[in-house]
Amino acid sequence: MKHLIHEAALAASAFIAGLVPSALGAAVSLAYEPGLTWRQRFVQLSVGVCVSYFVGGAIHSVTDWSAFVLQAIQFVTGMIAYKATPRVTHALVERVAEIPAALIDRFLPRGDRS
């Protein structure tokens, strides 16, 4: 049982250490963004952390760069993802709102509508 707890603690600490550069990059962007609600801040911070964490993992699997370079990339990616979240969300909402009309046009010809 002690071994299992020790392994779980090591895995959790490695996961948290991997998230730190991503979270710092998104948090720095958060400091420069006035007038946001707490919900908006949380969503943008979460997206920044998630995107930069997975981008860092993808780059690590493809390249042979040092951990310091990967952390710098995760930091910058966190900042970029944080800033891009509102525009991406707006674009997704616009596209999703167009789906019903596109389905009606596709499957219900104009002559069949009443």
Q: Which amino acid is at 98?
A: E
Radius of gyration, CA atoms only, the chain: 21
What pLDDT does residue 101 have?
A: 84
Nearest CA among 56, 55, 32 for reference residue 44: 32
This prediction has a pTM of 0.56
Quick: pLDDT tens for 21-40: 777 777 777 776 778 788 88
Reported as a single tens digit per residue, the pLDDT across 54-100 is 888 888 889 888 888 888 888 888 777 777 777 777 787 888 888 88
- Judged against a pLDDT cut of 60, whether residue 113 lies above it is answered with no
Query: Confidence class of residue 112 from pLDDT cuts 50, 70 and 90?
Result: low
**Helix (H) or strand (E) segment spanning residue 54:** helix 38-62
Among residues 17, 72, 27, which one has the least CA distance to residue 48?
27
Q: How many CB atoms lie within 10 A of CB 101?
A: 9
